[in-house]
Every structure is written in structure tokens, then in C-alpha cells.
Amino acid sequence: MTELQNIATGPMWAGFVAFVLLMLALDLWVFGGNKAHKVSIKEAGAWSLGWFSLALLFNAGLWWYLKGTVGPEIAEQKSLEFLSGYLIEKALSVDNVFIFLLIFTAFGVKAEYQRRVLIYGVLGAIVMRAVMILAGAWVVSEFKWILYVFGAFLLFTGLKMLKAVDDEPDVKNNPVLKWARKVLPVSEADHGEKFIVSKDGKRYVTTLFLVLILIEVTDLIFAVDSIPAIFAITSDPFIVFTSNMFAILGLRALYFLLADVADRFHLLKYGLALVLCFIGLKMLLLPWLHIPVHISLTVVAVLIAGSVIASLYATRKK
């Protein structure tokens, strides 16, 4: 058994959670995140840049604080771990974007309603991932061998993605959706941005609510891949949590930024699959080969950048 490598103090945890809650409150009630609104590419780009800048600013602040409290060596290590975890989570989030687009298209959700679905999807994702990260950190600290299970799972998932990279899921026949239709009274009519409506004294969920359920389930499935992947970089729950949260907070903006051009990044899934394979192998080979964090960061960046450039080049030639 190993102890949790938690570099953070209680006030650091409290401060970051307060920051996340503040950002969500501002998004919901100041910037109208829960209102119907069609997000433009320009707006999505500005939000994406904002979230990315905040993540880098946080990392710089973390490095500065740790440099003064525990020394420059640990400060550099933790800042690299955060950056690697953030990049991995951000890259794997692109796969979420593709599935979100399929779900919205399959159910004919108008662009102005997608924003509201995604903000509540993000809220649910934050809660689910927080629980998974804290539970995962405890499991890793108590059972070190679980990292090899994570590694085998990630390698299997990556190879499976490579084999089925062109397959599209049948979202309308999702078993969770079938279950929801059986247990919940559903109104199939168009109710705009509403999730729940009253009709003849009875409450019904709308198809938009079913879409929200699918969004949450999709994120849960992808979290099963992405969270173990970050544990390959660090076992520090604070680094895993903060890098995950910054990526999730920027997920909605990333969706609107890429939704209209998703077909131009058709080779990106190969890059993501190779990232999972690399991380899985890194975890499995840990007893014999230690890959430094900066090498892992470089490999992940090269795989993602290479698949993006190849995608753009291929679509340009067409």
C-alpha cells in the first residue's frame, strides 16, 4: 500500500472548490448559461481561450506557491503533472464532442437549446468525476496493483478504438434510453428548452431531458477512460481533480467550437486511441521502465497534434 501523494492543503482544496462553484454560478446566472441561446464560433472561441488561459494561470500559480513552500523540484514536477493531465483530459474530451454532436443530431435538438443541456451536463459531470477521482485515489493508495488493471483496460480500450474508429453508436437505441422511457413518463411533443412539463395535472419529462440523460451517461463512460489515464501520470488526487475540472469547465465551449467542423478532424480518433495505448503501456511497463512526465507530455502532444494536422491536410486535399 502507498500513501496518497496529496500536495494540497485543506485551504487549497477549499479554495479550488470555491473557484469552481463561483465559475458555475457566474455561468448560470450572470452569463445566462441556463438560457436558450445559439453560441457562435466567435463566442465559443473566446470562452475556450478564457478557460485555457485560466488553466495555465492556475498552473503558474501552483508552481509559484509550491516553489516557495516545498521547493522548485517538486513545484516543477507537480506543474508538469497538471499540464499533462489537463492535456490528456482535454484531448479525450474531443471524443465527447463527437458523441454529443451525434446525440443532438439524432434528436434534432436546436442549436439554441444545446447550450442549456450542456451546462447541466457539466454540473452532473463535475459531481460524478469528483466522486470517481476521490474513490480512485483511495483505491490506488490501498491497492497499488490496480494501476496494472487500469493499464490493461486503457490498452484494450485504445486497441478497440483503433479497430472501430469509423463505427458510430446507435444513440436512439441506447439501453439507458430504453430504460428511461420505461420508467419515466415522457412527453414526445416539442417543449422548447424545458426538461419537465405539467400536463393534465401530471408531470412529464421531455425529450430534451432524455438527451440530458444520454449526455451524462456519455460523460460517465468517457470518464472511465480518462480518469485512469491521468492516474498514469500522477497519484496526487489534487492534481487529478484540478486538471479534470478545468478540462470539464471548458468542455461546453470546446463543443461549440468544434461542432460545425467536426468532420474535418476525422483522423483525430486515431490519435486519441494511440494516446490510450501509450498510457496503458506506460502503466503496464512501470516495474521495468519509468517514463518521465515530460516525456509522456511530449508523446501525447505529438500524437494529438499529428492527428489534427493529418486530418486538416486530408480534408484540404479533398
Q: pLDDT for 188-235, tens place per residue? A: 888 888 888 988 789 999 999 999 999 998 888 888 888 898 888 888
* 109 vs 207: CA distance, rounded Å: 9
- Contact assessment for residue 244 and residue 225, using Cβ atoms and an 8 Å cutoff: no
What rounded mean pLDDT belongs to the chain?
87
Nearest to 129 by CA among 211, 205, 17, 207: 17
| Cα 139 to Cα 135: distance, rounded to the nearest angstrom | 6
The residue with cell 490498452 is: 155
250 close to 47: Cβ distance less than 8 angstroms:
yes
**pLDDT of amino acid 1:** 35
C-alpha distance from residue 67 to each of 5, 74, 96, 157 (Å): 17, 7, 35, 38
Exposed / middle / buried, residue 24 (Cβ in 10 Å: 0-12, 13-18, 19+): middle
300/84 Cα distance (integer angstroms): 8
Output Rg (C-alpha) for the chain, integer angstroms: 20
Check residue 30 and report its DSSP letter.
I
What's the predicted TM-score (pTM) here? 0.88
Query: Nine-digit cell at 195?
Result: 426538461
Are the CB atoms for 311 and 265 separated by under 8 Å?
yes
What pLDDT digit, counting tens, does each position of 237-274 carry? 999 999 999 999 999 899 988 887 777 888 888 999 99
Query: Tens of pLDDT along 99-127?
Result: 898 899 888 888 888 988 998 998 999 99
Mean pLDDT of 17-36: 81
- Find residue 202's DSSP bridge partners: 199
Best mean pLDDT range from 1-5, 74-78, 191-195: 74-78
**What sign does the CA torsion over 308, 311, 313, 316 have?**
negative
